[in-house]
Amino acid sequence: MNVASLARYVPILKWGRTYGRNALTGDVLAAVIVTIMLIPQSLAYALLAGLPPEAGLYASIAPIILYAIFGTSRALAVGPVAVVSLMTAAAIGNIADQSTMGYAVAALTLAALSGAILLVMGLLKLGFLANFLSHPVIAGFITASGILIATSQIKHILGISAGGDTLPEMVISLVGNLSATNWITLVIGVSATTFLFWVRKGLKPLLCRIRLGPRLADMVTKAGPVLVVMVTTAAVWGLGLDAEGIRIVGVVPQGLPPLTLPSFSTDLIRLLLLPALLISVIGFVESVSVAQTLAAKKRQRIDPNQELIGLGVANLGAAFTGGYPVTGGFARSVVNFDAGAETPAAGIFAALGLSIAAIALTPLIYFLPTATLAATIIVAVLSLVDFSILKRSWTYSKADFSAVAATILLTLGLGVETGVSAGVVLSIALHLYKSSRPHLAEVGLVPGTQHFRNIHRHSVLTDPTLLTIRIDESLYFANARFLEDYVADRVATDRPIRNVVLMCSAINEIDLSALESLEAINHRLETIDVKLHLSEVKGPVMDRLKKSDFLDLLTGQVFLSQYDAMRALAPEQALT
């Protein structure tokens, strides 16, 4: 393999060679800002995933470097994200108890499986599989996940214990334990949440009014969580609140990510395979859509199949360095881009910043209350919750609406895995249902022209012995039988018919099932002396038909145009 083809799979070999001082400046600045944003986020998402806080930091170091080497997006920032953290907790929660070794190993295994799935999909160019997740299903799933995540964090704000994988379970568990609320925790949690909301909604306009540039204002806003972390940590330490029952982060090991091994137990792998697949696909879809939006702004390209490889290697990296499943995050990638990141090197510098944090800063967060992390999560995920998709899909298409509604309800009611799986199955089923009833029109000749239009909508010339059906869809197994039924019905009720013409101008493909349906139609019409003809068959479809013996069996002819068919089969009408 020469360097050029190697560079296809290792994009760093391409951009790395022309790396210069300009890019360096932009990348370093972006890295500083992303690092500041990632420290509290990493800790918080680890908490959400049910893992010790350092797992979040570790999941942001090796993966970010590996993605920088193998990924194609210049701005995507990889690491732990909210939805994937929730899915991790849901997948592992049934297998092992939190804060046991088994739980951490299961998280590593999940990352390894997810990495392997993404890598294999990338190498086999199976990126199209992500298309099975329709936009409405993703939108519904993300909204429902946001609600589940926010609800799951309420226990930390209240300072109580609670569990559950679904909304009803969570609510029942919360209500049942409400009496144990720790009031100091609640004060800290609510203050932190309120402050973070204000930072999002109120601070930025304020900063703009005092003439800070909108970009700088944005950057300061992103540092809000760091400020809350510092203030609440200082408060707990200064006032000795840990003695009052406030849950704190406690001892976090100091040092670089450790080398770890996922489990290779086949039982565990079997249990985690479906969750890993769902995590991979959802992570990939989210990641690619962010990457594509950012790349488009600079007229850059991303290669979806190479993105699979990049994300796959990043997850494998997480599996071997104490992390858990990662993907490209929306908020952090936008921050990275806006802060001026020019190349994936920004990611490498951010990883450097996080390594320093892991080595030097972990003792400082001993007194960090988990309520603060919960507040960070709640504020971050509530921006995911967006019910407008329900209204939007309702006006646009009832089928899409039902897919969204089912995904939201099932995700909330039965958990993330059931919800998203049901959404996928439902949207495929709805699509097949819709295309199983192709639009058919019986057409006639517009007088004085060579055009054919629907006989029910236009005043057109027809002939009682001639039935012309225009099919507005490719013919394949799901809709072939519909055409069979339609033709059978029409000739059974309309006895003068002697010729049936199928106008194929909108048919892009005829699969083997449809071919056999056409043969059945041809054969059944033959038994009652009615001829079957085709018209306006597209080139590639005709080439395919020539490979079968259908054209030999066809009782009628194949006409180049519908007008030719009309002239041959109902000359009186065509010539008037």
Which stretch, 113-121, 140-148, 334-342, 507-515, contacts its own copies (CB under 8 A)? 507-515
Restricting to residues 167-186, which ones interact with its own copies according to CB under 8 A?
A: none
Nearer to its own copies, 14 or 200 (CB): 14
Residue 564 binding its own copies, by CB under 8 A: no
Determine the interface stretch with its own copies among 87-95, 186-194, 378-386, 478-486 (rule: CB under 8 A): 478-486
**Residue 523 Cβ vs its own copies, minimum distance, rounded to whole Å:** 8
When asked if residue 534 is in the footprint of its own copies (CB under 8 A), the reply is no
Q: Is 70 in the site for its own copies (CB under 8 A)?
A: no
* Only segment of 35-43, 257-265, 273-281, 508-516 that touches its own copies (CB under 8 A): 508-516
Q: CB-wise, 97 or 509, nearer to its own copies?
A: 509
Using CB under 8 A as the binding rule, whether residue 561 contacts its own copies is answered as: no
- AA identity, residue 191: S
Tell me the C-alpha distance between 530 and 497, whole Å: 7
Is residue 81 near its own copies by the rule CB under 8 A?
no
Token pair recorded at residue 456: 């029910």
Residue partners of 186: CB distance under 8 A and separation at least 6: 157, 158, 159, 371
Q: How far is CA 184 from CA 192, 239, 275, 376, in A?
A: 12, 11, 37, 18
Instruction: Say how far apart CA 294 and CA 271 lie, in whole Å.
Output: 36
Stretch of 153-161, 184-192, 317-325, 433-441 contacting its own copies, by CB under 8 A: 433-441
Closest CA to 72 of 314, 335, 351, 324: 314
Single-letter residue type at 395 = T
Does 299 participate in binding its own copies (rule CB under 8 A)?
yes
Q: Does 120 bind its own copies (CB under 8 A)?
A: no
Tokens of 54: 């350092």
Q: What is the side-by-side order of every strand in the sheet holding 440-445?
A: 452-454, 440-445, 466-471, 499-503, 531-535, 558-559
Work out whether 433 is an interface residue with its own copies (CB under 8 A).
yes
Backbone dihedral angles phi then psi of residue 503, each to the nearest 5 degrees: -90, 115
Interface residue with its own copies, options 98, 173, 177, 293 (CB under 8 A): 293
Q: What's the one-letter identity of residue 400?
A: D
DSSP 402: H
Query: What six digits make up the tokens of 321?
Result: 């360095």
Contact range with its own copies by CB under 8 A, out of 107-115, 216-224, 440-448, 480-488: 480-488
| Residue from 250, 509, 543, 571 binding its own copies (CB under 8 A) | 509
The C-alpha angle 484, 487, 488, rounded to 5 degrees, equals: 80
At 297, phi and psi to the nearest 5?
Answer: -60, -30
Cα–Cα dist 63/289, whole Å? 19
When the beta carbons of 349 and 476 are compared against its own copies, the nearer one is 476
State which of positions 271-290 bind its own copies (CB under 8 A): 289
436 binds its own copies, rule: CB under 8 A: yes
- Pairwise CA distance, residues 325 & 320, whole Å: 11
Applying the rule CB under 8 A, the residues between 391 and 420 that interact with its own copies are: 392-393, 395-397, 399-400
Nearer to its own copies among residue 316 and residue 530 (C-beta) = 530
Amino acid found at 16: G
Work out how close the CB of 305 gets to its own copies at its nearest, in angstroms, rounded to a whole number.
Answer: 10
How crowded is the C-beta side of 501, counted as CA atoms within 13 Å? 31
Candidates 17, 493, 572, 575: give the one binding its own copies (CB under 8 A). Answer: 493
Residue 14 C-beta: closest distance to its own copies, Å = 15
Count of residues that bind its own copies according to CB under 8 A: 72
Write out the binding residues for its own copies, residues 330-389 only, by CB under 8 A. Answer: none
Q: Least distance from C-beta 491 to its own copies, angstroms?
A: 7
Whichever of 98 and 474 has its CB closer to its own copies, that residue is: 474
DSSP 8-state assignment for residue 261: -
Q: Report if residue 491 touches its own copies, rule: CB under 8 A.
A: yes
SS3 259: coil
